[in-house]
Amino acid sequence: MKVLIGLSGGVDSAVAAYLLLKEGHDVAGCFMRNWDALANGDYLGNPTINNSQCPQESDYDDAVAVAKVLGIELLRVDYIKEYWDNVFSYLIREYECGRTPNPDIFCNKYIKFGPFIDFAKAHGFDAIAMGHYAKRMDENGKTYLLKSFDKNKDQTYFLSQISQDQVSFCLFPLGDINKQDVRKIAHELNLASVMDKKDSTGICFIGERNFKEFLKNYIPAQRGEIVDIETDRVIGHHEGAMYYTIGQRKGLGIGGITGEVAKGWFVVKKDVKKNIVYVASGNENKYLLSKGCTVTNLNWISGTPIEGKHVNAKFRYRQEDKGVTIHFVGKDKIRLDFDNDYSSITPGQAAVLYDGEVCLGGGLIDEVFTYF
């Protein structure tokens, strides 16, 4: 097939391109640039703002070097406006409402598997490919998304909002390989620009940031109180309730309270209207626990599961699977009843559902049923 692979300037997509060539495909690479720090006012919290070259251009140079070694053409597209309109604006709206979004999920839905697929089709490609750790399975006229062989790197959580049609147009060359072998292949090929390159972290296409400072570029800081939910006493101050997430421990700036410091303080509730962050002491405190949640913005990849089906769920990337039962409470809403009490379930985060190895899809956590 004629395949267009998203070549990011990282080791995963580079080795994925090589594996496609090894299988005999006609491969071209394409580098996507979706963030412009200067145009988007990305100053506070940006550790690279004064660098002579922005990280995206450095990544592009690495992708060029990979394409040269592999002997493939490298195209380039910019989706800066699309990213701002469909991914970043959503992130800001969610934080302003006091929720904790996961932009990587919508980056896949609206960029990597949206206009990128349209671009590939318009240029005569039969499929796109990505360096994601995931598998595709075609059976009885349906396409399914499956967990990858390397469970530590499995990225189906971030692909939970894409459609069956999008999955069916994509190849995942890294589905049956682990990260150690990816590095090994990169060394064997002497892909010097990426073989020892650190994996990208931070926000999709933006990169690592001091996140609280980064958000100040777009949401003004507003000083408020940090309150012990048990005693209702003020034990500290924060710069904006929207900057914090349920279960957060680091960066609270609370100290000097005898007996409770060793246990640590955890964010258990936020009141954005009153600008109050509520905390409790200890990672096993009852205020972090919940017995269920509702999920909206549903996306089922290969068919809707039946009412009352028991499945596994991930509420955060790399979190262990947790047993839940699905109940439909509306056209675009389900309730998940938990097998046990689960900790730090956070509105705005994704609930991704699995039937064994198959990723069914999922949605966004709306309401969490707590004990207070």
Supply the residues annotated as catalytic: 107, 204
Q: Cα-Cα-Cα-Cα dihedral of 138, 139, 143, 147, to 10°? A: -70
Paired with 313 in beta bridges are: 322, 353
Strands (E), the chain: 2-6, 26-33, 74-78, 127-129, 135-139, 142-146, 170-171, 224-228, 234-238, 265-271, 276-281, 289-300, 310-314, 322-330, 333-343, 350-355, 358-370
Q: DSSP state, 118?
A: H
**Cβ–Cβ under 8 Å, residues 101 and 92:** no
Relative to beta strand 2-6, strand 26-33 is parallel
**Cβ–Cβ under 8 Å, residues 327 and 114:** no
Task: At 126, list the tokens.
Answer: 């039969």
Paired with 129 in beta bridges are: 5, 171
CA-CA distance, 225 to 238, in Å (whole number)?
A: 6
Q: DSSP state, 234?
A: E
- Other Cβ atoms less than 10 A from the Cβ of 115: the count is 17
The kind and range of the H/E element at 52 are none
Q: Cα-Cα-Cα-Cα dihedral of 194, 210, 47, 41, to 10°? A: 110
* 47-55, Cβ contacts within 8 angstroms, sequence gap of 24 or more: 47/208, 47/209, 47/210, 48/207, 55/207
Coil, strand, or helix at residue 184? helix
- Other Cβ atoms less than 10 A from the Cβ of 206: the count is 23
**Cβ–Cβ under 8 Å, residues 267 and 247:** yes
Which residue has 């940090």 as its token pair?
Answer: 226
**Backbone torsions φ then ψ of 143, nearest 5 degrees:** -110, 130
